[in-house]
């Protein structure tokens, strides 16, 4: 009986110790249940100008200077630019390909040429790619209050 109880305690302790290795949370703490996919968000944004929600997706780009933004791919070849509320936190720069759960607001915004070039520079684009940006872009954006990285 004592050995079984000790094994149980050891297993419980291992789970508590190892679980942070499989996910990381930055920003505000939140419950990740009730998330929607990028596809569902695109459908919902046809009805809303701004939507508070929890979104899950796979990261395809991260700011390589600070981790101050990330992008999620859209099925229509576009992206969703994610920034962080009040510039209060950042994400690790090496999370491309990882799944994230975001808590915050989705909205549309016209991003200026200057800001698009800044994002391209942060993403490590070449000078010619940055210079080729010559029109503002209406983007679907997301301002995250909290992020869970899986």
pLDDT at 122: 83
pLDDT at 80: 96
Residue range 63-122, pLDDT digits in tens: 999 999 999 999 988 899 999 999 999 999 999 999 999 999 999 999 899 999 988 888
What are the strands, taking DSSP E only, across 36-136? 50-58, 61-62, 69-73, 79-84, 99-111
Beta carbons of 56 and 100 less than 8 angstroms apart: yes
The pTM (predicted TM-score) of the whole model is 0.78
Q: Which CATH architecture has domain 24-149?
A: Beta Barrel (2.40)
Residue range 2-12, pLDDT digits in tens: 665 554 555 55
Residue range 31-75, pLDDT digits in tens: 999 999 999 999 999 999 999 999 999 999 999 999 999 999 999
């Amino acid at each position: 009986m004592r050995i079984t109880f000790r094994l149980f305690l050891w297993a419980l302790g291992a789970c508590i110790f190892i679980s942070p290795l499989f996910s990381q949370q930055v920003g505000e703490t939140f419950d990740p249940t009730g998330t929607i996919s990028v596809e569902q968000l695109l459908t919902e944004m046809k009805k809303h100008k701004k939507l508070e929600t929890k979104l899950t997706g796979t990261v395809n780009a991260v700011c390589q200077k600070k981790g101050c933004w990330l992008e999620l791919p859209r099925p229509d070849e576009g992206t969703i630019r994610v920034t962080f509320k009040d510039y209060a936190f950042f994400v690790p720069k090496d999370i491309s390909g990882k799944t994230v759960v975001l808590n915050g607001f989705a909205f549309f915004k016209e991003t200026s040429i200057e800001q698009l070039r800044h994002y391209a520079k942060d993403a490590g684009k070449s000078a010619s790619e940055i210079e080729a940006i010559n029109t503002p872009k209406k983007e679907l954006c997301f301002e995250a209050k909290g992020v869970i990285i899986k």
